[in-house]
Structure 1
């Protein structure tokens, strides 16, 4: 059961900057976690995995917002120690969000049961869905295969577990509603 919202997102205060748009995409893609700040380059943010274990895999992701601010490109490299990296090219389009469903717990989200109002103080998870919301192409750099694996996901999850996540989540929802004019939020 999906809860389709019409005009229920918080209003955006003004037209967001390129950096604010990159932050919105990063939040929805799970790049901006635990307060980790990206390395900023002209027109792009670069996120590095922070791992103390030298045997753990490393992930580097470059996030760029194109001329269309609701679309972003990602280039990621995941490398396990002593092995070749896997390269992933991705495209997210926030204008494709057709439904927004809020849940009071992770268990409810996983089971897709008991959605709550987006305005509820009990919201802990929000799921945004839309056809082809995030598409990516994965390829190994080992040279063993030249084929790429293409996938499209129709879902992005937005955690709202603490006040910091709620504040970021509200900013993201305002951008998706007001700037991207996502169908989930209806016409203004």
Structure 2
């Protein structure tokens, strides 16, 4: 289930493997330049397998700049829309079936699908930015991304019984 969450949250880029332990997986952004910012994300799946918590830290060399805590609930997916290109997705035109071989962009929507709270650790501000998003975007441009994406969607359909996948 952690792998499905990682794919849908965009943590599993290019098939990168996380550091795994019993309670969580930790993902690191791949950075060629040691002076570039790095993103570290810890993914925990709760007792309810369709819910996951993330804790992300954006690190600039030598300091932590921002901490984001998030909660995703995949059982809230009420619609799945697929597109054959990024341009179609942006324009929201020419949707295709999400299981189509031509699908390169998948959009999952549902009320309060992903909520997060972000705070600066730089000492500049003590306020946090809270937000809830009703959308997750999944890119499936190459064969590996398509395999991981279809597997994650099948898990959401089977385990989470999300309304978008319930046959009418």
TM-score tier after normalising by the smaller chain length: over 0.9
Matches of 1:98 and 1:119, distance apart in 2: 16
Deviation at 1:178, TM superposition (A): 1.1
Structure with the bigger RCO (C-alpha within 8 Å, sep 6+) is: 1
Does residue 146 in structure 1 map to residue 126 in structure 2?
yes
- State the secondary structure of the residue aligned to 1:34: helix
Matches within 5 A, 1:32-47: 32-47=12-27
Q: Where does residue 26 of structure 1 map in the other structure?
A: 6
Distance 1:186 1:153, change over 3 A: same
Q: Deviations over 1:130-156 (max 9, x none)?
A: 111010000011223221100111111
Q: Is the 8 A contact 2:14 2:145 kept in 1?
A: no
Match of 2:100 among 120, 127, 132: 120
TM-score normalised per structure 1: 0.85
Matches of 2:64 and 2:143, distance apart in 1: 39
Equivalent residue pairs, number: 168
Unaligned stretches of 5+ residues in structure 1:
1-20
CA RMSD, 1 decimal: 1.3
Distance 1:128 1:53, change over 3 A: same
Matches of 2:157 and 2:64, distance apart in 1: 40
Match of 2:137 among 148, 157, 180: 157
TM-score normalised per structure 2: 0.95
Deviation at 1:80, TM superposition (A): 1.7
- State the secondary structure of the residue aligned to 2:98: coil
Does residue 69 in structure 1 map to residue 49 in structure 2?
yes
Deviation at 1:83, TM superposition (A): 4.4
Q: Is the 8 A contact 1:89 1:136 kept in 2?
A: yes
Q: Where does residue 4 of structure 1 map in the other structure?
A: none
Considering fraction of residues, name the structure with more strand. Answer: 2
Q: Is the 8 A contact 2:53 2:69 kept in 1?
A: yes
Distance 1:145 1:119, change over 3 A: closer
Q: Where does residue 85 of structure 1 map in the other structure?
A: 65
Unaligned stretches of 5+ residues in structure 2:
none
Matches of 1:120 and 1:58, distance apart in 2: 35
Q: Where does residue 109 of structure 1 map in the other structure?
A: 89
